[in-house]
Amino acid sequence: MDGIAFTVEDGIGRITLDRPEAGNAITLPLARALLAAAIRCQTDAAIRCIVLTGNGRLFCAGGDVQLLAGAGDKRSEVLSELIATFHAAIARLARAPKPLVTLVNGPAAGAGFSLAMLGDVVIGARSAHFTAAYGAIGLTPDGGLSWLLPRLVGLRKAQDIILTNRRIKAEEAEAIGLVTRIVDDEALADEGLRVATALADAPMAALAASRALLADSFETGLETQLDRELRSMAAAGAGRESEEGLSALLAKRPANFRGV
């Protein structure tokens, strides 16, 4: 795939942004490859957990500024096609019935910031930092950043981050809830594999339903959410994952959710 390395192993679909010489900046071929990988992760039953990371010093520098600078009076057209493709990938990853782990191996800016924040579990290296970056080149957020940030850190901090373009270092990112946790750079791969393996071993249908409940919770009132929880729990209770989990608990053995 152009600009993407993609592997599937032991139930984990790993998407690696793979333009290290360009800071993994997003071009149209990379966006198309990301969409193809996202569709594969969403539809392949062998994939139980998705991992997204970057190759090289940066996680992702955002959109390719050389591409945008060279577009001239076609910039709006180029942006429209690039972002539409990128957003299709974002939507697939966000709504896939599988957990997403993002491993932020280094700085993330612009659309790379959006990608980093998309994970259900976001693990950052200590060398990582985050910058919205759009205002510096006269552009506005994409990749869902204006949707994600207020939900993660609140409106006031989201305003500060997007409007001032200030850099958020790893320790602050952990403190304000941008990332799940920070680890030493050399520990990132092992910690990511540990988390992804645990999620791949978990009850996939139950995790998918829980993911959907969380994603929709900001758009619903309490009574509506209570009803959704009831329906989701009843459906889960009728499934094989629940049967296996309860049987394993009573038998005092590890549950085998991969086998159901």
Mean pLDDT, 10 residues at a time, over the chain (260 residues)?
Answer: 94 98 96 98 97 98 90 91 97 96 98 97 98 92 96 96 97 97 98 98 97 91 96 96 96 95
Q: What are the start-end ranges of the E strands in 91-136?
A: 100-104, 108-109, 121-125, 129-131
What is the rounded radius of gyration, in angstroms, for the C-alpha atoms of the chain?
A: 19
pLDDT digits (tens, 9 = 90+) for 64-74: 888 888 988 89
Q: What are phi and psi of 60, to 5 degrees?
A: -170, 130
pLDDT (0 to 100) of residue 48: 98
What does the domain layout of the chain look like in residue ranges?
4-200, 203-259
Fold of 203-259: Lyase 2-enoyl-coa Hydratase; Chain  A, domain 2 (1.10.12)
Domains 4-200 and 203-259 share a fold: no
pLDDT (0 to 100) of residue 71: 87
**CATH number of the 4-200 domain:** 3.90.226.10
Extract the tokens encoding 21.
Answer: 């010489």
pLDDT digits (tens, 9 = 90+) for 121-130: 999 999 999 9
pLDDT (0 to 100) of residue 230: 97
**Residue 222 burial (CB < 10 Å; 0-12/13-18/19+)?**
exposed
Extract the tokens encoding 95.
Answer: 């709504």
Cα distance between residue 141 and residue 154, in whole Å: 16
Of the candidates 207, 180, 68, 74, which has an alpha carbon nearest to the alpha carbon of residue 125? 180
The pTM of the full predicted model, rounded to 2 decimals, is: 0.94
pLDDT (0 to 100) of residue 124: 98
> In this structure, which amino acid lies at residue 4?
I
pLDDT (0 to 100) of residue 242: 97
pLDDT (0 to 100) of residue 129: 98
Three-state secondary structure call for residue 254: coil
